[in-house]
């Protein structure tokens, strides 16, 4: 148990569907992250929230829309996704307002997303 | 473009043997270097966060060293056990940038 919970664990959706990924952290951290992990590629940072404010958006297509209603919850809203968006989506949190440099990130188990 | 390189890409080691692998990163504007272990079907788990040149950290049979001047870190595993089988990831942080730059990982398989 890492203290970071992601739901659902698996998601299959069509290209026209709308779905949301959820992440919850019970560690009292104030920074949260969405990563994308495609096969045989390094982790790609998508979004960073610090103190509920988005501080990083790495040129992610608008079909991915993050939401951070409070420091414990993070959502990734998905709409009109493409087959190349099939990947593992990981949520992480850390102590400190930003990446914190010397603070490790704590990850959830991820959502395996498949786009039909 | 900032790159973090990990080598080798994969590694098969006999149980009981010791092993090591490398993370290479840009040597300028260093802030921190992270190591994570990622077991199949689980979440990545932080092993070490290293910030000082010459730093050496240890956690059980696993240790890591850091050379920020030449831009590399080594991860050592002593007396490998089957439970050490995992992908080991390193990530580099430049200045106090928000973004960790991740390597693609070294996949370690321990043969019984």
> B30 vs A100, which has greater pLDDT?
B30
| Confidence label for B2 from pLDDT (cuts 50, 70 and 90) | confident
Q: Which of B9, B39, B43, B57 to mutate to test the interface with A (most CBs of A within 10 A)?
A: B43
Nearest CA in chain A to B47: A104
Nearest residue, CB atoms, B43 vs list A2, A48, A102: A2
B31 in contact with A, Cβ within 8 Å: yes
Q: What angle do CA B4, B9, B11 make, to 5 degrees?
A: 135
Neighbours of A30 (CB within 10 A): 19
> B109 vs A17, which has greater pLDDT?
B109
Q: What pLDDT is attached to residue A33? A: 93
pLDDT in tens, A52-75: 788 777 789 999 999 999 999 999
> A1 vs B84, which has greater pLDDT?
B84
Q: CB distance A107–B4 less than 8 Å?
A: no
Counting one residue from chain A and one from chain B, the pairs whose CB atoms sit within 8 A come to 63
Question: What is the arithmetic mean of pLDDT over B69-84?
Answer: 97
| Confidence label for B1 from pLDDT (cuts 50, 70 and 90) | low
Q: What pLDDT is attached to residue A76? A: 97
Angstrom distance (rounded) from CA A9 to CA A16: 20
Show the low-confidence residues of chain A (pLDDT under 50). none
B105 in contact with A, Cβ within 8 Å: yes
Strand spans (E) along B25-99:
30-38, 45-50, 56-59, 62-67, 72-77, 86-94
Q: What pLDDT is attached to residue A39? A: 86
Q: What pLDDT is attached to residue B98? A: 65
| Confidence label for B28 from pLDDT (cuts 50, 70 and 90) | confident
| Confidence label for B83 from pLDDT (cuts 50, 70 and 90) | very high
pLDDT of B67 > 90? The answer is: yes
């Amino acid at each position: 148990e890492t203290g970071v919970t992601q739901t659902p664990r698996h998601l299959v959706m069509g290209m026209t569907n709308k779905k949301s990924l959820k992440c919850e952290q019970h560690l009292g951290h104030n920074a949260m992250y969405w990563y994308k992990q495609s096969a045989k590629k390094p982790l790609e940072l998508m979004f960073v929230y610090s103190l509920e404010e988005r501080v990083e958006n790495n040129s992610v297509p608008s079909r991915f829309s993050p939401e951070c209603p409070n420091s414990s919850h993070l959502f990734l809203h998905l709409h009109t996704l493409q087959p190349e968006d099939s990947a593992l989506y990981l949520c992480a949190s850390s102590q400190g307002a930003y990446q914190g440099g010397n603070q490790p990130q704590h990850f959830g188990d991820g959502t395996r997303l498949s786009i039909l | 473009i900032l790159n973090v390189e990990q080598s080798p890409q994969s590694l098969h080691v006999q149980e009981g043997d010791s092993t090591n692998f490398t993370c290479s990163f840009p040597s300028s504007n260093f802030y921190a270097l992270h190591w994570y272990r990622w077991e199949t079907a689980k979440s990545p788990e932080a092993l070490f966060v290293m910030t000082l040149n010459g730093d050496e950290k240890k956690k059980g049979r696993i240790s890591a060293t850091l050379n920020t001047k030449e831009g590399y870190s080594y991860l050592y595993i002593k007396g490998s056990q089957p439970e050490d089988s995992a992908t080991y990831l390193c990530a580099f942080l430049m200045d106090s940038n928000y973004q960790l730059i991740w390597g693609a990982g070294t996949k370690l398989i321990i043969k019984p």
